Amino acid sequence: MSETFRQFLRALPDFPAELPEFVPGDAPTDPAELFRLWLDQALAAGERQPHAFSLATVAVTGQPSSRMLILKDIDDDGGWQFATSRASRKGQELVANQCAAMNFYWPSQGRQIRVAGAVRELSADASAADWAARPRADGGTNPAWQLYAVQPSEIEFWQAQHSRNHIRHRFGPGGRLLG
């Protein structure tokens, strides 16, 4: 049975027939600008929720976990913002280990963006403003709500290629191009 399932999985299509061209030498040198460009292209291609990403954190025991969240902003300090309750599993994991990784995936484009680095808590005022701006917020407050920012030590833009020679365009700390 497992060989049949394996064959079934291998027969599924990996990427759409048409993939966008990506020439790293022509890309913006600012990773936030390149992200915005790819986000616009994902929207134009009909990608649903292109601002959704998988956030990976690690518990004090070393157990990794991931879940889907929504990107809130990319701030002037280069922080990639998201929010959650401090009482949630991810909130507790961020207390134990202030590092995380984000992964955006846009299958219609054959694209992924990985963002990894240290996580910092943003101010109580910024967190309260984010809570108040949530859809269907009751106008009240939630003192457990916390806005965070990943300070990237690495950002990788990944473009699928049918040849399997996928393109990886990497940035290091401070948006320095790694090649």
Annotated binding site for FMN: 67-72, 89-90, 112
How far does Cα 146 stand from its chain's mean position?
18
Nearest-angstrom CA–CA distance, 33 and 166: 21
d(CA 148, CA 116): 13
Phi, psi (degrees; rounded to nearest 5) at 134:
-65, 145
Q: Binding site: which residues?
A: 67-72, 89-90, 112
Kindly give the pairing relationship between strand 167-171 and strand 64-70. unpaired
